[in-house]
């Protein structure tokens, strides 16, 4: 063990005074809570295996003593430093939320106290998630509820998630609520992966096609065309066009790159300023692929929130945000206002499919709205998967055919002058 590795400095002794005082307000009174600093350690167990983790202690010496008392031989002990990273460097992997929610529900079902459960989760995760879990645990130890501690991190915990946790805390079924939350998030994540998979293939094909055409126009075609220029014979119109395109790619490639980059930036800004217009266009696209996705999100989220005990108006508001379409969001919020005035939900949702409205009406009359919404969500998700597979099965041969036609035109434009030269020689 290096000499002086566990030296306790005066600055570390003052750490609890300067940096560990957290203030919180309850009924407008101010209280001071002293939170122990956290230390990360690496060490060895009695059997020689390596052990890593975190521990709370008053100082470095206290941390080493606690580690030894737990039966470990410490190798490295360092104070855990929270790093406030910038926007471009702060990693917030949203894909970890379902897994962390699942692990938390299992720990609570196993009888592990909430603070100890968050301690275990923080030791297992790294980076931004580790810092977040530690801060949530500190908030709980300071007297805050789990939902209020999570509300400080709305960038990773959606509003419906926080509301469901609050409902679980109020009913005393936090473990069950977290289990249903993890099921819901995993199902939503699976749908999201299907959307990404559907987008990746055409984008990949377009990029590959652009690279292949750029290679042909900048390297292959100019060398072949040089033969025709030396003959000084008249060229077919299609060959002249091919030469012009090849020269443009070779001499003004930077213009093409600038146009592509500018188009992407322009579209992002246009999308932000005209979200309602674009969402309205998406709803009218043929094939009903996007519509199935939107309605599956609405029915799944709305049914899930109602099942979790949220009032219908609050569930409508949160599900309208989760749907991802501004036009439908406005219609759902308008329906919420009508429901608040006493109207039925099925009669308030304008622009929704008649079959879905009939299902909602049946569920309202029979008191089985949650069950009906879940079945509708299953149906829409299956319909979305079928339509995506059908679209991809048509898109793949279409993209291959398009690329074949383009390459065929290039080959024809190159071979046609060769045939003409051959006839002249004869």
DSSP string, 302-337: HHHHHHTT--HHHHHHHHHHHT--HHHHHHHHHHHH
Assign 3-state DSSP to the chain and report helix, strand, coil percentages, each to 5. Answer: 70, 10, 20
Q: How confident is the model at residue 85 (pLDDT cuts 50, 70, 90)?
A: very low
Average pLDDT over residues 364-370: 87
Structure tokens at 142: 């300071």
Q: What residue segments make up the domains of the chain, in order of their start?
A: 1-81, 203-426
Strands 50-56 and 29-34: unpaired
Residue 89 confidence (pLDDT) above 60: no
**SS3 label, residue 173:** coil
Which distant-in-sequence residues (6+ apart) come within 8 Å of 321 by Cβ?
A: 159, 160, 329
In whole angstroms, what is the distance from residue 377 CA to residue 188 CA? 11
* Long-range CB contacts (within 8 A, 24+) of 396-402: 396/201, 399/202, 399/205, 399/209, 402/209
Average pLDDT over residues 333-347: 88
Who wins on pLDDT, 412 or 2? 412
Give the position of tokens 């001071």.
Answer: 32
H or E element that contains 386: helix 369-425
Average pLDDT over residues 391-395: 81
- pLDDT for 25 equals 36
Dihedral over alpha carbons 296, 316, 179, 123 (to 10 degrees): 100
Q: Express each pLDDT in 133-178 by its tens digit.
A: 888 888 888 888 888 888 888 888 888 888 888 888 887 788 888 8
Residue 227 confidence (pLDDT) above 80: no
Report the CATH fold assignment for 203-426.
Receptor-associated Protein (1.20.81)
Average pLDDT, the chain: 77
Q: Express each pLDDT in 184-203 by its tens digit.
A: 888 888 887 877 777 787 78
Dihedral over alpha carbons 388, 391, 396, 399 (to 10 degrees): -130
Tell which phi-psi region holds residue 287, choosing left (phi > 0), alpha (psi between -120 and 50) or beta.
Answer: left
The values of phi and psi at residue 90, to 5°, are -85, 115
Q: Express each pLDDT in 101-120 by its tens digit.
A: 899 889 888 888 888 888 88
The structure's pTM equals 0.63
Which distant-in-sequence residues (6+ apart) come within 8 Å of 396 by Cβ?
A: 201
- pLDDT for 177 equals 85
In whole angstroms, what is the distance from residue 83 CA to residue 378 CA? 43
Between 82-91, 240-249, 327-336, the lowest mean confidence (pLDDT) is in: 82-91
Q: How confident is the model at residue 426 (pLDDT cuts 50, 70, 90)?
A: low
Q: Name the packing angle between helices 326-340 and 289-307 (round to 10°).
A: 40
Q: Are 188 and 384 in contact (CB under 8 A)?
A: no
Q: Express each pLDDT in 270-317 by its tens digit.
A: 877 887 787 777 777 766 778 888 888 888 888 888 888 888 888 888
Q: Express each pLDDT in 37-72 by its tens digit.
A: 667 777 777 777 777 777 766 667 777 777 777 777
As beta bridge partners, residue 31 has 24
Who wins on pLDDT, 235 or 182? 182
Between 6-15, 127-136, 297-306, 345-354, the lowest mean confidence (pLDDT) is in: 6-15
Who wins on pLDDT, 111 or 423? 111
Q: Computed over its alpha carbons, how large is the radius of gyration of the chain?
A: 31
In whole angstroms, what is the distance from residue 212 CA to residue 210 CA? 5
């Amino acid at each position: 063990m290096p000499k002086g590795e566990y030296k306790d400095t005066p600055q570390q002794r003052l750490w609890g005074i300067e940096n560990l005082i957290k203030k919180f307000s309850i009924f407008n009174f101010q209280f001071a809570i002293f939170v122990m600093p956290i230390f990360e350690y690496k060490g060895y167990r009695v059997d020689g295996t390596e052990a890593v983790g975190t521990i709370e202690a008053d100082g470095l010496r206290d941390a080493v003593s606690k580690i030894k008392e737990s039966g470990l031989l410490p190798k490295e002990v360092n104070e855990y430093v929270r790093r406030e990273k910038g926007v471009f460097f702060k990693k917030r992997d949203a894909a970890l939320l379902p897994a962390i929610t699942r692990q938390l529900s299992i720990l609570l079902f196993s009888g592990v106290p909430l603070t100890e459960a968050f301690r275990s989760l923080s030791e297992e995760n790294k980076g931004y998630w580790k810092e977040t879990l530690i801060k949530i645990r500190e908030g709980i130890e300071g007297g805050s509820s789990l939902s209020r501690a999570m509300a400080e991190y709305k960038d990773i915990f959606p509003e419906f998630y926080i509301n469901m946790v609050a409902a679980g805390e109020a009913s005393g079924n936090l473990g069950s609520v977290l289990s249903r939350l993890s099921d819901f998030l995993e199902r939503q994540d699976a749908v999201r992966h299907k959307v990404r998979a559907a987008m990746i293939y055409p984008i990949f094909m377009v990029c590959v096609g652009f690279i292949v055409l750029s290679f042909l126009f900048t390297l292959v075609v100019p060398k072949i065309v040089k033969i025709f220029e030396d003959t000084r014979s008249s060229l077919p119109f299609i060959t002249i066009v091919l030469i012009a395109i090849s020269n443009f790619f070779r001499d003004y490639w930077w213009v093409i790159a600038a146009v592509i980059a500018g188009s992407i930036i322009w579209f992002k800004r246009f999308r932000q300023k005209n979200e309602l217009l674009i969402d309205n266009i998406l709803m009218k696209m043929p094939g009903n692929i996007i519509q199935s996705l939107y309605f599956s999100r609405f029915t799944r989220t709305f049914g899930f929130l109602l099942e979790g005990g949220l009032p219908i108006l609050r569930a409508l508001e949160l599900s309208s945000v989760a749907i991802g379409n501004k036009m439908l969001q406005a219609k759902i919020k308008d329906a919420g206002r009508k429901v608040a005035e006493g109207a039925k939900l099925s009669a308030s949702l304008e622009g929704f499919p008649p079959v879905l409205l009939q299902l909602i009406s049946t569920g309202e009359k029979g008191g089985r709205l949650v069950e009906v919404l879940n079945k509708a969500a299953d149906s829409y998700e299956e319909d979305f998967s079928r339509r995506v597979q059908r679209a991809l099965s048509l898109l793949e041969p279409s993209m291959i055919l398009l690329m074949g036609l383009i390459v065929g035109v290039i080959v024809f434009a190159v071979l046609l002058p060769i045939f003409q030269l051959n006839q002249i020689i004869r």
